[in-house]
Amino acid sequence: MYASGTTSQRSLRVGVGILAAAAAVALLYYGRVFFITIVIATIIAFLLEPMVGFFMKLRFPRGLASFVVCSLGLMVLYFVALGLYTEGVAMMDDLPAYSERINEIVDNASLRVEHFQEKVYQTVVPRRFQEGAELPPAPPPEPASRGNRNAKKKPDNEPPPIQEVRVRPEPTPLFNYIYEYLRSFYSVLLMASFVPFLVYFILSWRDHLRGRLLAMLEGDTRYTVAKALDGVAEMVRAYVIGNFLLGLLLSIASALLFALVKLPYWIVVAPISGFLSLAPYIGMPLALIPPLVAALPLGTQPALYLYLSGSVAMLHLLGLNLLYPKFVGSRVHLNPLVVTIALMLWGMLWGGIGLLLAIPLTAAIKAIFDNVASLQHYGRLLGD
C-alpha cells in the first residue's frame, strides 16, 4: 500500500509539472510582448547598474544617479539615430543608382531562368510534341437566310437569356490597409515606450525591491535568493558586454577592410555587418547582405564581391572560433545542444527577438540552478 501511494503521488507530481510547463509556455507565447518588454528593460538595468554605482560613489542619491544614467543612455541613442538618419538622407540621393542596378540584376536573372527553362523543355519533351499537330480549320457557320427552311425561328414568347451577375467585393480603402498595418505594430510600439520608464524605476528602486523581497524570506533561503539574483545579474552583464565588445572589434575590422576598397557608406555598413555576424547560426549570411548591397552601384566586378565575401567570412570565422569563447563562452558555460534547443524554443515562442534573447535567458536560468542547492544537478545538465 505504501509503495502504491508513493507511485501515485509521484505520477500526480509529474502530471502537475507537465500541466504547469504547458501553462507557462502558453503564457509566454500569448503574453510575449509584455514579457519581452520586461526582459529587455531588466537586461538594460543590469547593464547600467555599475554606472549608477559610480555616480552613487560621487555622493549622488540613487534616484538622481538613475536619472542621470538614463538620460545619458537616451542621449547616446539620440546621437546614434541622428548619425543613421544623416547617412540615410545621403543614401536617398543614390537610391536611383541602387534601383537601376537592382532592376538590371533582376532582369538578367529572369532572362537566365527563361533560357534555362527553354533548354530543359527542349531536352525533356520530344520534338513532335513541341511542334504540335496542325488542326484543320473549322468550316464557317452556314448563315441563316430568309429562304432557308431549316432555320429555326425564335418564338415570340421565349424569355430573354439570364445573364450571370457577378458581385464584386467592395474595394478596401487605403486607410484600412494603413490601419491594419499599424495595428500589428501598435502593441509593440506601446510596450517599447515603457522601456525607459521601467529601466529608471528598476534602477532607482533596486535597493527597496531587493530589501522587501529578501525580507519575505528567512534563514538560508534568503541567502540563496540573494546569491541567485547576483549571479543572474553578473552573468547577463558579462554576456551582453562580451557580445558588445566582440561586435565592436568586428565592426572596426570590417570598417578597415571596407575602406580599403572605398565601399560606399562603409561607416554605416561596417557596424551593421559586424554586429549581425554575432547572430547565432545565421550570422555570416546576414553579415554578407549589407556590404554586398552597398557595392551594387560599383558595377559588376567579381573581384570586389569575392573580396567582400571573403573578408566577412574570415572575420566571422575568426570571431566565432577564436574570440567568442574568450569574450562570451567563458561567462555562459552552456553546452552546444542546450544552446540549439534554447534557440529553437525561444525562437518559436518570441520570433526573431527570441533568438537574440535565447542565450541570456537560458544562461540566467542556469545561474539560478547553480545557486540553488536542490537544483544544482539541473545546472550541471545545462552546462558544458
pLDDT value of residue 324: 77
Alpha-carbon span 333 to 138, nearest angstrom: 81
113 or 54: whose pLDDT is higher?
A: 54
317 or 103: whose pLDDT is higher?
A: 317
Predicted confidence band at 171 (pLDDT cuts at 50, 70, 90)?
Answer: very low
pLDDT value of residue 67: 92
**Percent of the residues in the chain that have a pLDDT greater than 70, as a whole number:** 76
Alpha-carbon span 306 to 292, nearest angstrom: 10
Whether residues 316 and 232 share a domain: the answer is yes
Long-range contacts of 317-326, Cβ-Cβ distance < 8 Å, separation of 24 or more: 317/284, 319/246, 319/249, 319/250, 319/277, 319/278, 320/277, 320/283, 323/246, 323/249, 324/246
Res 168 pLDDT > 80: no
Alpha-carbon span 361 to 324, nearest angstrom: 18
Whether residues 272 and 316 share a domain: the answer is yes
Amino acid at 216: M
Total of domains in the chain: 2
Alpha-carbon span 238 to 367, nearest angstrom: 12
- Quickly count: other Cβ atoms within 10 Å of residue 351's Cβ: 12
If you average pLDDT over residues 92-101, what whole number do you get? Answer: 67
Whether 239 contacts 363, CB under 8 Å: yes
Predicted confidence band at 378 (pLDDT cuts at 50, 70, 90)?
Answer: confident
Res 151 pLDDT > 60: no
Q: Cell numbers at residue 7, please?
A: 507511485
Predicted confidence band at 340 (pLDDT cuts at 50, 70, 90)?
Answer: confident
pLDDT averaged over every residue in the chain: 78
Per residue in 54-90, pLDDT tens?
A: 999 888 898 899 999 999 989 988 888 887 777 777 7
Identify whether 131 is part of a domain: no
Give the closest residue to 256 by CA, choosing from 322, 324, 317, 314.
Answer: 314
Q: 3-class DSSP state for residue 326?
A: helix
pLDDT value of residue 212: 82
Whether residues 105 and 241 share a domain: the answer is no
Identify whether 312 is part of a domain: yes
Among 204, 234, 253, identify where a domain stops. 204
Q: Would you give the distance in Å from CA 272 to the centre of its chain?
A: 14
Identify whether 147 is part of a domain: no
pLDDT value of residue 95: 66
Give the closest residue to 228 by CA, choosing from 340, 376, 381, 94.
Answer: 376
Identify whether 17 is part of a domain: no
pLDDT value of residue 374: 78
Res 133 pLDDT > 50: no
Whether 207 contacts 62, CB under 8 Å: yes
Identify whether 213 is part of a domain: no
Whether residues 56 and 198 share a domain: the answer is yes
Most confident of 72-81, 276-285, 319-328: 72-81
**Percent helix, strand and coil across the chain, each to the nearest 5:** 80, 0, 20
Whether residues 107 and 66 share a domain: the answer is yes
Identify whether 89 is part of a domain: yes
Res 277 pLDDT > 50: yes
Most confident of 40-49, 326-335, 375-384: 40-49
Query: Cβ contacts of residue 214 below 8 Å, gap of 6+?
Result: 222, 225, 226
The residue with cell 530589501 is 211
Query: Cβ contacts of residue 359 below 8 Å, gap of 6+?
Result: 239, 280, 332, 334, 339, 342, 343
Q: 3-class DSSP state for residue 34?
A: helix
Whether residues 109 and 198 share a domain: the answer is yes
Alpha-carbon span 134 to 131, nearest angstrom: 9
pLDDT value of residue 170: 53
Phi-psi group of 71: left, alpha or beta (phi > 0 → left; psi -120 to 50 → alpha; rest → beta): alpha
Per residue in 182-220, pLDDT tens?
A: 666 677 777 888 888 999 998 888 888 888 887 887 777
Res 131 pLDDT > 80: no
204 or 143: whose pLDDT is higher?
A: 204
DSSP-derived secondary structure letter, 384:
-
Identify whether 358 is part of a domain: no
Res 158 pLDDT > 70: no
Whether residues 233 and 112 share a domain: the answer is no
Predicted confidence band at 3 (pLDDT cuts at 50, 70, 90)?
Answer: low
DSSP-derived secondary structure letter, 282:
T
The residue with cell 545621403 is 90
pLDDT value of residue 228: 81
Query: Cβ contacts of residue 238 below 8 Å, gap of 6+?
Result: 331
65 or 128: whose pLDDT is higher?
A: 65
Whether residues 66 and 199 share a domain: the answer is yes
Q: Cell numbers at residue 286, please?
A: 546576414
Res 36 pLDDT > 60: yes
Predicted confidence band at 299 (pLDDT cuts at 50, 70, 90)?
Answer: low
pTM attached to this predicted model:
0.69
Whether residues 199 and 98 share a domain: the answer is yes
Whether 325 contacts 317, CB under 8 Å: no
The residue with cell 572575420 is 315
Give the closest residue to 336 by CA, choosing from 286, 378, 383.
Answer: 383
Per residue in 213-268, pLDDT tens?
A: 878 877 777 788 888 888 888 888 888 888 888 889 999 999 999 888 888 888 88
Whether residues 39 and 106 share a domain: the answer is yes
Q: Determine the structural domain holding residue 247 and report its residue range.
A: 226-323
Most confident of 14-23, 38-47, 159-168, 220-229: 38-47
Q: Cell numbers at residue 94, please?
A: 543614390
Whether residues 293 and 200 share a domain: the answer is no
Give the closest residue to 38 by CA, choosing from 201, 242, 214.
Answer: 201
pLDDT value of residue 334: 80
Whether 370 contacts 382, CB under 8 Å: no
Identify whether 240 is part of a domain: yes
Query: Cβ contacts of residue 353 below 8 Å, gap of 6+?
Result: 36
Whether residues 199 and 268 share a domain: the answer is no
